Amino acid sequence: MRPVFIDTHCHFDFPPFTTHEQESLTLAAQSGVERIIVPAVSAEMFDGILSLSRQFSMVYAALGLHPLYVAVHHQDSLDRLEQLLKGNAVKLVAVGEIGLDEYMDEPLIERQQWLLSEQLTFAKRYELPVILHSRRTHDRLAKVLRQSDLPRTGVVHGFSGSLEQAKAFVRLGYRIGVGGVITYPRAQKTRNVMAALPLSALVLETDAPDMPLSGFQGQPNRPERVKQVFEQLCLLRTEPAQQIAEQLYTNSMELFWPA
C-alpha cells in the first residue's frame, strides 16, 4: 500500500509556490501528500493563507505571529488574530507559527514571551492546537507550556534539542516535528532523537521552502520531499515502513483533525 503523508509545516504562501500553487500541489500529491498545513508568520499573511485554504482542498491554515518577526507584531496584530480565530473558519486548524527564539541578534525575549502568552491564551480559548517554533529556548518553552495546560497541545516544529528535552515536550502531550535535518549524516543528535522517541510522538514536516534536504542545498525545499524525510526516518527506526507511515498519519490527524 502506498504511504499517505501530511506535511504539517509548509510555508506555501511564499515563493517558489506563489503563482505556481496547483503545479506544486500536483507534485506533492504524486508523492503521496494528502494534506498541507500552512502556518503564518505575520498578520499581513493571514488573509492570503486563508484564501489558499479555501481555494485548494489539500491546504489548511494555521494563523499566528512568528517570534523571528517580533519587532513587527503589535497589539493590533493580536486583535486581528483573535478576530479570525473567533470566526472559526472551517480549514483553520491551529495557532501558529508561534514560540520563542534566542538565536537572533536582538531577541527581545520579554516581548516574545508576551506575544507567546497571548497566543497560547487564544489557543486555549478557541480549543486549537499550536505549532511551535523554538531555538535555544526548549527548557523555557516547556515551562511555559506546562503552565499553560492547553487542551489540544500541539507540535514542536524543527526540533533540534536533546532527547531529554524532547521527552519533556512529549510528557506534556506535544508531538515533535521530523524534518529534513535528519537527512544530514552530521546531524547525529537529531537523528538519534528521532530514532529514540516513541513513534506516537512524531509528525512529518518540510518547513518548505526552508530547511532543504541533503542533496538539495541551495534549492527551495518543497512539500513533495516529505516523502524523502519519511524514507530517511524509516532507516533510523526499527518498525516496518508501513507501520511508521500509518502512525505518522494517525498522529497528525489526531492532533489537527480529531474525530
The model's pLDDT over 202-213, given as tens digits with 9 standing for 90+, comes to 999 999 999 999
CA angle 133, 134, 136 (to 5 degrees): 160
Please report the domains of the chain, with CATH numbers, ordered by start residue.
5-11+32-256 (3.20.20.140)
Distance between CA atoms of residues 65 and 81, nearest Å:
8
9 is an annotated ligand-binding site residue: yes
**Residue 189: what pLDDT?**
97
74 is an annotated ligand-binding site residue: no
**Residue 259: what pLDDT?**
82
pTM: 0.97
Identify the helix (H) or strand (E) that includes residue 205: none
**Residue 18: what pLDDT?**
95
The model's pLDDT over 222-241, given as tens digits with 9 standing for 90+, comes to 999 999 999 999 999 999 99
Cis omega before residue 97 (within 30°)? yes
**Strand order of the sheet with strand 202-204?**
5-7, 33-39, 59-63, 92-101, 130-135, 154-157, 175-178, 202-204
11 is an annotated ligand-binding site residue: yes
**Residue 100: what pLDDT?**
98
Judging by DSSP bridges, how do beta strands 175-178 and 202-204 pair with one another?
A: parallel
Q: Cβ contacts of residue 117 below 8 Å, gap of 6+?
A: 144, 148
Residues of the chain with pLDDT under 70: none
**Residue 10: what pLDDT?**
98
Rounded to the nearest angstrom, the gap between the alpha carbon of residue 1 and the centroid of all alpha carbons in its chain is 26
**Residue 128: what pLDDT?**
98
**Residue 90: what pLDDT?**
85
CA distances from 98 to 86, 129, 185 (A): 18, 11, 29
What is the per-residue burial (b if ≥16 Cβ within 10 Å, else e) of 34-69? ebbbbbbbebebbebbbebbeebebbbbbbbbbbbe
**Residue 1: what pLDDT?**
84
Beta-carbon count within 10 A of 224 CB? 21
Biggest CA–CA distance in the chain, Å, is 49
66 is an annotated ligand-binding site residue: no
The dihedral sign for the CA sequence 250, 21, 53, 113 = positive
